[in-house]
Amino acid sequence: MSDISRRKFLQTTSASALLLFSGLGRESQAASVQSYPSKKIGNIKNLKVNEPLAFNYPDNNSPCVLVNVGKEASGGIGQGKSVVSFSTRCTHMGCPLTYNNGRLVCKCHYSMFDVSRNGQTYQGLASQWVAQVVLRLDAATGNIYAEGVEGLIYGRIGNLKLS
Tell me: does residue 104 bind ligand FES (CB under 6 A). no
128 makes contact with ligand FES (CB under 6 A): no
- Contacts with 126 (C-beta within 8 Å, 6 or more apart), sequence order: 90, 91, 92, 106, 109, 111, 113
Q: Is 103 in the site for ligand FES (CB under 6 A)?
A: no
Of 11-19, 54-62, 80-88, 104-112, which part binds ligand FES (CB under 6 A)? 104-112
CB of 65 to ligand FES, least distance (A): 15
Least CB distance from residue 91 to ligand FES, whole Å? 7
106 in contact with ligand FES (CB under 6 A): yes
Check residue 137 for interaction with ligand FES (CB under 6 A): no
Identify the CA nearest to 136 among candidates 42, 56, 21.
42
CA dist 86 → 1, 11, 19 (Å):
50, 38, 26
